[in-house]
Amino acid sequence: MDASSARIEDARARRRIFFALAPAFLIILVLFGGGLLFGFMQSVGYFPVAGLTDFTLEHYLSVLTDRNFLISLWITFRIAASVTILSAVMAIAFCFVLREQFRGSKLATFLFQLPLPVPHLVAASATILLLSQSGLFARFSVGLGLIDSPRDFPALLYDEYGIGIMISFLWKEVPFVGLVVLAVLQSVGPQYEEIAQTLGANRWQRFRYVLLPLILPGVFSTSIIVFAFTFANFEIPLLLGETFPTTLPVQAFREFEAPELSRRPKAMAMALVLAFITILLLIAYKRLLRGTRTDNA
Protein backbone atom coordinates (compact mmCIF):
# COMPACT_ATOMS: atom_id res chain seq x y z
CA MET A 1 0.00 0.00 0.00
CA ASP A 2 1.50 3.35 -1.08
CA ALA A 3 1.51 6.54 1.01
CA SER A 4 -1.57 8.11 -0.67
CA SER A 5 -3.65 4.96 -0.13
CA ALA A 6 -2.57 4.86 3.50
CA ARG A 7 -3.65 8.49 3.99
CA ILE A 8 -7.03 7.80 2.38
CA GLU A 9 -7.57 4.75 4.58
CA ASP A 10 -6.54 6.74 7.65
CA ALA A 11 -9.00 9.51 6.76
CA ARG A 12 -11.79 6.97 6.34
CA ALA A 13 -10.96 5.44 9.71
CA ARG A 14 -11.11 8.88 11.33
CA ARG A 15 -14.49 9.58 9.74
CA ARG A 16 -15.85 6.25 10.96
CA ILE A 17 -14.68 7.03 14.49
CA PHE A 18 -16.21 10.50 14.28
CA PHE A 19 -19.60 9.25 13.13
CA ALA A 20 -19.54 6.47 15.72
CA LEU A 21 -18.93 8.92 18.57
CA ALA A 22 -21.07 11.76 17.20
CA PRO A 23 -24.36 10.69 18.92
CA ALA A 24 -22.70 10.54 22.34
CA PHE A 25 -20.95 13.88 21.81
CA LEU A 26 -24.20 15.44 20.65
CA ILE A 27 -26.04 14.32 23.77
CA ILE A 28 -23.26 15.65 26.00
CA LEU A 29 -23.20 18.92 24.09
CA VAL A 30 -26.95 19.43 24.34
CA LEU A 31 -27.32 18.44 27.98
CA PHE A 32 -24.13 19.95 29.39
CA GLY A 33 -23.81 22.90 27.02
CA GLY A 34 -27.51 23.71 27.20
CA GLY A 35 -27.54 23.57 30.98
CA LEU A 36 -24.42 25.71 31.17
CA LEU A 37 -25.90 28.31 28.82
CA PHE A 38 -29.19 28.32 30.73
CA GLY A 39 -27.36 28.77 34.03
CA PHE A 40 -25.21 31.56 32.62
CA MET A 41 -28.26 33.43 31.33
CA GLN A 42 -29.83 33.27 34.77
CA SER A 43 -26.59 34.37 36.46
CA VAL A 44 -26.50 37.58 34.40
CA GLY A 45 -30.07 38.42 35.32
CA TYR A 46 -32.12 36.97 32.49
CA PHE A 47 -34.76 34.85 34.21
CA PRO A 48 -38.22 35.70 32.80
CA VAL A 49 -40.01 33.24 35.10
CA ALA A 50 -39.00 35.42 38.06
CA GLY A 51 -39.71 38.63 36.15
CA LEU A 52 -36.00 39.35 35.52
CA THR A 53 -35.12 40.39 31.98
CA ASP A 54 -32.33 42.94 32.47
CA PHE A 55 -28.78 41.74 31.93
CA THR A 56 -26.51 42.63 34.84
CA LEU A 57 -23.33 41.52 36.63
CA GLU A 58 -24.79 42.47 39.98
CA HIS A 59 -25.17 38.87 41.08
CA TYR A 60 -21.51 38.09 40.42
CA LEU A 61 -20.43 41.18 42.33
CA SER A 62 -22.73 40.19 45.19
CA VAL A 63 -21.18 36.72 45.34
CA LEU A 64 -17.55 37.83 45.13
CA THR A 65 -17.96 40.48 47.81
CA ASP A 66 -19.93 38.26 50.18
CA ARG A 67 -17.90 37.33 53.28
CA ASN A 68 -19.81 34.08 53.67
CA PHE A 69 -18.82 33.12 50.13
CA LEU A 70 -15.12 33.63 50.94
CA ILE A 71 -15.44 31.58 54.13
CA SER A 72 -17.16 28.77 52.23
CA LEU A 73 -14.50 28.92 49.54
CA TRP A 74 -11.74 28.49 52.13
CA ILE A 75 -13.56 25.58 53.80
CA THR A 76 -14.09 23.87 50.44
CA PHE A 77 -10.45 24.30 49.42
CA ARG A 78 -9.16 23.10 52.81
CA ILE A 79 -11.26 19.94 52.73
CA ALA A 80 -10.42 19.17 49.08
CA ALA A 81 -6.68 19.69 49.60
CA SER A 82 -6.63 17.65 52.81
CA VAL A 83 -8.54 14.76 51.23
CA THR A 84 -6.28 14.80 48.16
CA ILE A 85 -3.04 14.71 50.12
CA LEU A 86 -4.23 12.14 52.66
CA SER A 87 -5.70 9.93 49.92
CA ALA A 88 -2.38 9.84 48.06
CA VAL A 89 -0.29 9.14 51.18
CA MET A 90 -2.63 6.49 52.56
CA ALA A 91 -3.07 4.79 49.18
CA ILE A 92 0.70 4.50 48.71
CA ALA A 93 1.13 3.09 52.22
CA PHE A 94 -1.66 0.51 51.78
CA CYS A 95 -0.43 -0.53 48.34
CA PHE A 96 3.10 -1.23 49.55
CA VAL A 97 1.58 -3.66 52.03
CA LEU A 98 -0.91 -5.22 49.63
CA ARG A 99 1.61 -5.88 46.88
CA GLU A 100 3.32 -8.44 49.11
CA GLN A 101 2.06 -12.01 49.04
CA PHE A 102 0.86 -13.16 52.45
CA ARG A 103 -1.88 -15.31 53.84
CA GLY A 104 -5.13 -13.52 53.16
CA SER A 105 -3.58 -11.00 50.76
CA LYS A 106 -6.29 -11.57 48.13
CA LEU A 107 -9.01 -11.01 50.72
CA ALA A 108 -7.24 -7.88 51.98
CA THR A 109 -7.00 -6.53 48.42
CA PHE A 110 -10.68 -7.27 47.85
CA LEU A 111 -11.67 -5.46 51.05
CA PHE A 112 -9.41 -2.54 50.14
CA GLN A 113 -11.13 -2.09 46.77
CA LEU A 114 -14.64 -2.80 48.07
CA PRO A 115 -15.62 0.90 48.50
CA LEU A 116 -15.04 1.65 44.80
CA PRO A 117 -18.54 0.76 43.48
CA VAL A 118 -20.33 2.19 46.53
CA PRO A 119 -22.06 5.55 45.78
CA HIS A 120 -20.90 8.55 47.80
CA LEU A 121 -24.40 9.03 49.13
CA VAL A 122 -24.30 5.53 50.61
CA ALA A 123 -20.87 6.22 52.06
CA ALA A 124 -22.20 9.34 53.78
CA SER A 125 -25.16 7.39 55.19
CA ALA A 126 -22.82 4.67 56.48
CA THR A 127 -20.66 7.32 58.13
CA ILE A 128 -23.69 8.64 60.01
CA LEU A 129 -24.69 5.15 61.14
CA LEU A 130 -21.19 4.33 62.35
CA LEU A 131 -19.58 7.55 63.60
CA SER A 132 -22.37 9.72 64.94
CA GLN A 133 -22.79 10.03 68.70
CA SER A 134 -25.81 7.74 68.44
CA GLY A 135 -24.09 5.39 65.98
CA LEU A 136 -22.76 1.88 66.28
CA PHE A 137 -19.23 2.80 67.35
CA ALA A 138 -20.56 5.00 70.15
CA ARG A 139 -22.85 2.21 71.38
CA PHE A 140 -20.07 -0.37 71.20
CA SER A 141 -17.83 1.97 73.18
CA VAL A 142 -20.50 2.25 75.86
CA GLY A 143 -20.94 -1.52 75.90
CA LEU A 144 -17.19 -2.03 76.31
CA GLY A 145 -17.05 0.49 79.12
CA LEU A 146 -14.80 2.91 77.23
CA ILE A 147 -17.24 5.80 77.70
CA ASP A 148 -20.16 6.36 80.06
CA SER A 149 -22.77 7.40 77.48
CA PRO A 150 -23.00 7.86 73.69
CA ARG A 151 -22.76 11.64 74.07
CA ASP A 152 -19.19 11.16 75.38
CA PHE A 153 -18.18 9.78 71.98
CA PRO A 154 -16.09 12.28 69.97
CA ALA A 155 -18.21 14.57 67.79
CA LEU A 156 -16.84 13.57 64.40
CA LEU A 157 -19.86 14.77 62.41
CA TYR A 158 -21.21 18.27 61.89
CA ASP A 159 -18.00 19.75 63.31
CA GLU A 160 -16.20 22.89 62.23
CA TYR A 161 -13.17 20.97 60.92
CA GLY A 162 -15.15 18.68 58.62
CA ILE A 163 -13.66 15.49 60.07
CA GLY A 164 -16.69 13.39 59.19
CA ILE A 165 -16.70 14.79 55.66
CA MET A 166 -13.03 13.90 55.19
CA ILE A 167 -13.46 10.41 56.65
CA SER A 168 -16.29 9.68 54.22
CA PHE A 169 -14.30 11.02 51.27
CA LEU A 170 -11.17 9.10 52.29
CA TRP A 171 -13.07 5.83 52.52
CA LYS A 172 -13.99 6.30 48.87
CA GLU A 173 -10.94 8.00 47.40
CA VAL A 174 -8.08 6.03 48.97
CA PRO A 175 -9.06 2.84 47.07
CA PHE A 176 -9.49 4.91 43.90
CA VAL A 177 -5.90 6.18 44.06
CA GLY A 178 -4.69 2.82 45.34
CA LEU A 179 -6.17 0.96 42.37
CA VAL A 180 -3.77 2.76 40.05
CA VAL A 181 -0.77 2.60 42.39
CA LEU A 182 -1.24 -1.12 43.08
CA ALA A 183 -1.50 -1.88 39.35
CA VAL A 184 1.80 -0.09 38.70
CA LEU A 185 3.58 -1.81 41.60
CA GLN A 186 2.37 -5.23 40.53
CA SER A 187 3.35 -4.64 36.91
CA VAL A 188 6.95 -3.56 37.56
CA GLY A 189 7.72 -6.45 39.91
CA PRO A 190 10.65 -6.60 42.32
CA GLN A 191 13.46 -6.55 39.76
CA TYR A 192 14.10 -2.80 39.91
CA GLU A 193 14.41 -2.88 43.68
CA GLU A 194 16.69 -5.90 43.53
CA ILE A 195 19.00 -4.14 41.09
CA ALA A 196 19.07 -1.03 43.29
CA GLN A 197 19.74 -3.18 46.34
CA THR A 198 22.72 -4.84 44.66
CA LEU A 199 24.07 -1.34 43.99
CA GLY A 200 23.93 -0.54 47.69
CA ALA A 201 20.61 1.35 47.95
CA ASN A 202 18.84 1.08 51.28
CA ARG A 203 15.06 0.73 51.67
CA TRP A 204 14.38 4.48 51.68
CA GLN A 205 16.61 5.07 48.66
CA ARG A 206 14.85 2.27 46.76
CA PHE A 207 11.53 3.89 47.49
CA ARG A 208 12.69 7.45 46.79
CA TYR A 209 14.66 6.89 43.58
CA VAL A 210 13.14 3.72 42.10
CA LEU A 211 9.52 3.14 43.08
CA LEU A 212 8.29 6.69 43.68
CA PRO A 213 9.11 7.92 40.14
CA LEU A 214 7.24 4.91 38.75
CA ILE A 215 4.03 5.53 40.69
CA LEU A 216 4.04 9.34 40.66
CA PRO A 217 2.32 9.75 37.25
CA GLY A 218 -0.59 7.59 38.41
CA VAL A 219 -0.75 9.35 41.77
CA PHE A 220 -0.73 12.77 40.10
CA SER A 221 -3.48 11.95 37.60
CA THR A 222 -5.77 10.39 40.20
CA SER A 223 -5.08 13.20 42.67
CA ILE A 224 -6.30 15.76 40.14
CA ILE A 225 -9.55 13.81 39.77
CA VAL A 226 -9.94 13.45 43.54
CA PHE A 227 -9.34 17.16 44.12
CA ALA A 228 -11.80 18.25 41.44
CA PHE A 229 -14.51 15.88 42.61
CA THR A 230 -14.07 16.71 46.30
CA PHE A 231 -14.04 20.42 45.61
CA ALA A 232 -17.32 20.29 43.68
CA ASN A 233 -19.17 17.61 45.66
CA PHE A 234 -22.17 18.67 47.74
CA GLU A 235 -23.89 15.44 48.88
CA ILE A 236 -21.39 14.47 51.57
CA PRO A 237 -20.88 18.01 52.98
CA LEU A 238 -24.67 18.49 52.93
CA LEU A 239 -25.24 15.37 55.03
CA LEU A 240 -22.17 15.45 57.28
CA GLY A 241 -21.16 19.10 57.54
CA GLU A 242 -22.18 22.07 59.60
CA THR A 243 -25.24 24.05 58.68
CA PHE A 244 -23.16 27.23 58.72
CA PRO A 245 -20.52 27.88 57.57
CA THR A 246 -20.63 25.20 54.94
CA THR A 247 -18.84 24.31 51.72
CA LEU A 248 -19.36 26.30 48.57
CA PRO A 249 -21.37 23.66 46.63
CA VAL A 250 -23.78 23.30 49.56
CA GLN A 251 -24.18 27.06 49.82
CA ALA A 252 -24.95 27.27 46.09
CA PHE A 253 -27.41 24.38 46.36
CA ARG A 254 -29.28 26.04 49.22
CA GLU A 255 -29.51 29.29 47.30
CA PHE A 256 -30.84 27.35 44.32
CA GLU A 257 -33.58 25.54 46.27
CA ALA A 258 -34.75 28.68 48.06
CA PRO A 259 -38.50 29.33 47.57
CA GLU A 260 -37.86 32.83 46.24
CA LEU A 261 -37.08 32.58 42.53
CA SER A 262 -35.36 35.94 42.75
CA ARG A 263 -32.46 34.19 44.53
CA ARG A 264 -31.91 31.78 41.66
CA PRO A 265 -29.58 34.11 39.67
CA LYS A 266 -27.28 34.43 42.68
CA ALA A 267 -27.20 30.64 43.03
CA MET A 268 -26.29 30.28 39.36
CA ALA A 269 -23.60 32.93 39.67
CA MET A 270 -22.19 31.09 42.67
CA ALA A 271 -22.22 27.77 40.79
CA LEU A 272 -20.44 29.25 37.78
CA VAL A 273 -17.85 30.95 39.97
CA LEU A 274 -17.32 27.57 41.63
CA ALA A 275 -16.84 25.91 38.25
CA PHE A 276 -14.43 28.65 37.13
CA ILE A 277 -12.38 28.38 40.34
CA THR A 278 -12.25 24.60 39.98
CA ILE A 279 -10.91 24.90 36.44
CA LEU A 280 -8.27 27.46 37.52
CA LEU A 281 -7.16 25.30 40.44
CA LEU A 282 -6.89 22.25 38.23
CA ILE A 283 -4.82 24.13 35.66
CA ALA A 284 -2.50 25.47 38.37
CA TYR A 285 -2.29 22.07 40.03
CA LYS A 286 -1.50 20.34 36.74
CA ARG A 287 1.25 22.84 35.91
CA LEU A 288 2.71 22.44 39.38
CA LEU A 289 2.77 18.66 39.01
CA ARG A 290 4.28 18.95 35.54
CA GLY A 291 7.05 21.09 37.01
CA THR A 292 7.56 18.54 39.77
CA ARG A 293 7.90 15.71 37.25
CA THR A 294 10.40 17.79 35.27
CA ASP A 295 12.49 18.42 38.37
CA ASN A 296 12.43 14.72 39.27
CA ALA A 297 13.51 13.80 35.76
Q: Which is more confident, 21 or 163?
A: 163
Torsion 34-238-247-255 (CA) sign = positive
pLDDT tens per residue, range 268-293: 888 888 888 878 877 777 776 666 55
The whole-angstrom separation of Cα 120 and Cα 222 is 17
Considering the domain 57-296, what is its CATH architecture? Orthogonal Bundle (1.10)
Provide the 10 A C-beta neighbour count for residue 191.
8
Per-residue confidence (pLDDT) for residue 150, from 0 to 100:
83
pLDDT tens per residue, range 22-41: 888 888 888 878 888 888 88
Residue 219 in contact with residue 180, Cβ under 8 Å?
A: yes
Q: What is the pTM of this model?
A: 0.80
Torsion 230-80-114-134 (CA) sign = negative
The whole-angstrom separation of Cα 31 and Cα 104 is 46
The whole-angstrom separation of Cα 221 and Cα 180 is 10
The whole-angstrom separation of Cα 192 and Cα 107 is 27
Residue 68 in contact with residue 254, Cβ under 8 Å?
A: no
- Report the phi/psi class of residue 3: left, alpha or beta, with left for phi > 0 and alpha for psi in -120 to 50: alpha
Whether pLDDT at 4 is above 80: no
Per-residue confidence (pLDDT) for residue 41, from 0 to 100:
87
- pLDDT bin (cut points 50, 70, 90) of residue 246 is confident
Provide the 10 A C-beta neighbour count for residue 183.
13
Which of these, 264, 271, 221, 291, lies nearest to 42 by C-alpha position? 264
> If you ran DSSP here, which 8-state letter would residue 40 be given?
H
- pLDDT bin (cut points 50, 70, 90) of residue 167 is very high
